[in-house]
Structure 1
């Protein structure tokens, strides 16, 4: 029997551009309904949607913060891997100014470091930004004392040591593989080359020129403005902390106001001194499988309604998305203080192209949810315990945490923390008698037990 696992592997991310206030009904109905449903379903306590439509900006908050207020344009969220687009912009700026090339080996910018290579092919700055380096998603010596803050103690000494002992499984440039390690290394190399810390380099070369005062690896005004994160179990989750070694992969925080500025700059709807570098970063360069093509961090996914250029992000308690459809001059940023990156990404992509389906999500009455509450035997010693807390259903497998599941159809629920779904089965009298777990291409039935 293959061991069943629902364990979460955390992902993980001066020309001021004016924001023109718009009435909140300018958020398109399709996106407005889905954002409302996500909050009502318990996917995240708070969500902010930023919309740019033909140059006009609207920012709308959904849900509530701990003090009872609705989130707004000043509410701060962790960006997670959406940070990679900023690191890519730092690189693109160097390229556009002729200070580096995509073929520059990263080892040239880190003297004294041993960077792995294979068959004479080196890991270059371009391959790091295009996710073709051959490096793994995270370094093998990542062993945080606090799993809820996985990058807090990972410094340059550990990164240097890991790279010196790592053997690449294939040649750099062979194929796409998403790597937080790779982008962290890129950010660190860029900062070292500039003789600055990553955060200081980001402020000098990107955030100040764009006019984004509430964005950075630490948000100086976050305080009470920070929307507290919530983990895959729906419980409060601590903020993540990063050292420079991997900060370029996911350390940034921002608010809706600043992300509206960044979205406009990314779409090219406002003049900015970084326009050429932004276009360079977004240019598709390599195949990224079913996602489409990748440039420098930015993904381009084709659709019948126009190409969608985007990136997403997640930390232990937050999810984020940025994207736009140039054909329709329409862009979206979504920021949520809940771990639901796949769902938020699906919503973001669908909001940018009518050819892409909106993820199914429903809010069911408590009386309906109560029908599923019970114990379901998957195998000897392996029991699903399904419980309810208000309008939220939870499923817990023996020895694992209780994780929320969300209704996507009649008697069908999906996880946001893992790639799995549950179908509940009824008898002829309409009573729930079993559940079927769908995961890793397999379906396994668990009868309900008294």
Structure 2
């Protein structure tokens, strides 16, 4: 990055570390396929922290569990609408679905009953499940967003049962090793930061414990580094390697529930937090455990992401810091648009479909995109627009917008000539109310008139 950009990033990091009295604070910025900047302030064992210093990342662990569950979905081993009982029988909340657990809408209690799990050694799955009686369901499943650490302990057990091994062993084999994330571990490995609480009224520290959370570990056990989390930030933006299809990660980023319904600024997808900050739509996750705070955020639209790690129980604005680092990069060095290039090849039959179509009297424009995708947009710019991915000859599935998941079908005349489009029962014709036989309810036989009769 330019020296002016790097100084602006370092100054923001230094200001946060000093103002929040963080024993140490490290951060990084990701752009495209690499970590383009990292910095650290404070001390870890008397030395400045680096991009290879481990910190506990808390609930960022949930994003890894989410990826493992989505791998099971993509393999056909489960459906997100499956009730938990189908995969982990014997709970009091087996009617909640896998998707509801991922999105924190299953209604489960936020914390495991008994001892404060973040500060005490946890028991096994049998002990956790035994503690979750009928009262563990606080809300009707699907009724509302209610953040639940317990839900991700349950999802960790689901992964373990499908894979026949512990959740971390599955994570290592399926995610960490393929992505080259060797420094993401369930327990600290040198060099690692010590977790501290900072006294609210004096510049003194108190050591915080870092026990194994047992069956609750999938909710917040992992440790990681700037280097490793930079790779994970790229993953969350869509650079997924062979771990998941980019469309699956895009699905995870879509808010399944928002916390403020009118003009939402924060919500939750499938294992990922989503938010809108300064006009940007960001995705990632924060994390906190006694002695540590962390945040990973990415802007999939630009490929710019940021992450930060601190060894302080509270007081460090890691979420604001990460969002500000993204904003500083975009202000100082806005990304150049990719060069336009013509398509390497084109199907003449698809090219012939492009141009104007009409939903009733309303004109729409159908455009051909790379990889045989179609883009249907209102010609006026106002209304429902979606992109469509080919699924078979003459059928496409909606990728986004109002028609996400819906089927677009091209109908032909007996001689093979394109006749009309059927999009979730809405008919699009080349001329306004053209192809009368395809229009539900028919078309007035008198046709268009110059005035009312």
TM-score (structure 1 length as normaliser): 0.66
Q: Structure 1 residue 142 and structure 2 residue 115: aligned?
A: yes
Q: Structure 1 residue 248 and structure 2 residue 214: aligned?
A: no
Equivalent residues of 1:106, 1:186 under 8 A apart = no
Matched residue SS, 2:193 = coil
Count of residue pairs brought into register by the alignment: 322
TM-score (structure 2 length as normaliser): 0.65
**Structure 1 residue aligned with 2:141:** 172
Residues 104-143 of structure 1: pairs in structure 2 closer than 5 A: 104-111=82-89, 113-116=90-93, 122-142=95-115
Alpha-carbon separation, structure 2, partners of 1:341 and 1:205 = 35
| Structure 1 residues 64 and 101, CA gap change in structure 2 (3 angstroms) | same
**Structure 1 residue aligned with 2:418:** none
Alpha-carbon separation, structure 2, partners of 1:295 and 1:341 = 26
Alpha-carbon separation, structure 2, partners of 1:237 and 1:81 = 20
**Structure 2 residue aligned with 1:230:** 196
Deviation of the 1:52 alpha carbon: 0.9
Alpha-carbon separation, structure 2, partners of 1:26 and 1:79 = 30
**Structure 2 residue aligned with 1:322:** 296
Equivalent residues of 1:59, 1:72 under 8 A apart = no
**Structure 2 residue aligned with 1:69:** 47
Deviation of the 1:235 alpha carbon: 1.7
Deviation of the 1:106 alpha carbon: 1.6
Deviation of the 1:319 alpha carbon: 0.5
Candidates 170, 173, 184, aligned match of 1:215: 184
Matched residue SS, 1:170 = coil
Residues 47-446 of structure 1: pairs in structure 2 closer than 5 A: 47-111=25-89, 113-116=90-93, 122-142=95-115, 150-166=119-135, 168-219=137-188, 222-223=189-190, 225-233=191-199, 235-269=205-239, 271-276=241-246, 277-289=248-260, 291-340=265-314, 343-353=317-327
CA RMSD in angstroms, aligned pairs only: 2.6
For 1:121-164, what per-residue CA distance to the aligned partner results, in whole angstroms no more than 9, with x for missing partners?
x11111111000111110222356xxxx5241333233111223
The gaps in structure 1 that reach 5 residues or longer are 1-21, 357-450
Alpha-carbon separation, structure 1, partners of 2:259 and 2:321 = 20
Deviation of the 1:165 alpha carbon: 4.4
Q: Which has the larger radius of gyration?
A: 2
The gaps in structure 2 that reach 5 residues or longer are 331-453
Equivalent residues of 2:185, 2:223 under 8 A apart = yes
Deviation of the 1:295 alpha carbon: 1.1
- RCO comparison, higher one (Cα < 8 Å, 6+): 1
Deviation of the 1:341 alpha carbon: 6.5
